[in-house]
Amino acid sequence: MKVMSMSTGTRRITLVPIKRTDVFQTAVERIGQMIVENNMQPGERLPSEREIAESLGISRTTVRQALKVLESMGKVETRVGSGTYVANPARAESDPRLLVEHLTVDKTFMEKLIEARVGIERMVFESAFKALDDRALEELQQLLDENAREILAEEDEDGALDLSFEAKVAEIGGNEFIIGLQKQIHQTWIKAWRKYGYVPEKKAVLHEEHLKILDALKRRNRQETVDLIEQHVSKNVE
């Protein structure tokens, strides 16, 4: 396998190209490993998105979303017009849920939160594909059937913020790291929308979107599944 080498001006950094399976999840892991294995220090600039994409053999879009996930984890920070840098752990928030308590939850905050969740959910669904079998699909169908029955009854307070379907997909994937990351972003998501003052969409609409995602999963259509989950999460903020 060909190993690519890059330069940040002061050092040479190498990355091994990624195989086409589990691309997004692997990109997050590889970039994180690059920081650790090269002993990159807080404030040190990462190679450009283009260089990382070429070295890993993936698209710049995938690299960009992987960096957003790492940024939500406090591993890197993006400086507009300058690039992406290793974050200072002393300033990184250990629990992103606390951001909701200390920052103003406005339109800009919500748009950034949506971007972070899009990246994480994409990783969740791509990870689940390798563990997807008939039993897992049946469990997802049963969950959505239960949700459909709840829609007919009076909705609970957080009905439109029900994230059980996405959480079940993460459980099927079985990656504890991804499950924990998703749990944090989900808790932040619920707190933020509550503080912002309204829910992103009606529960019935979200349920229909879940059904379309499940249909794509049943047909083992990876790209359609990823596209649908991105559309599902990417709600307009008013």
Contacts 24+ apart (CB under 8 A), 143-152: 143/168, 144/207, 144/210, 144/211, 144/214, 147/207, 147/210, 148/207, 151/203, 151/204, 151/207
Q: How wide is the angle at C-alpha 89 spanned by C-alphas 88 and 90, nearest 5°? A: 90
- CATH topology (fold) of 96-233: Four Helix Bundle (Hemerythrin (Met), subunit A) (1.20.120)
What digits encode the pLDDT tens for the residues 120-145?
999 999 989 989 999 999 999 999 99
- Domain extents in the chain: 4-86, 96-233
CATH assignment of 4-86? 1.10.10.10
pLDDT of residue 21: 46
pLDDT tens digits along 42-53: 999 999 989 998
- Look at residue 174 in the predicted model and tell me its pLDDT: 92
Centre a 10 Å sphere on the Cβ of residue 78 and count the other Cβ atoms it contains.
Answer: 16
Q: What is the pLDDT of residues 161-202, one digit of tens each?
A: 678 899 999 999 999 889 889 988 987 887 788 788 777 778
Is-above-0.75 flag for pTM? no
Which of 199, 201, 144, 188 lies closest to 168, judged by CA? 144
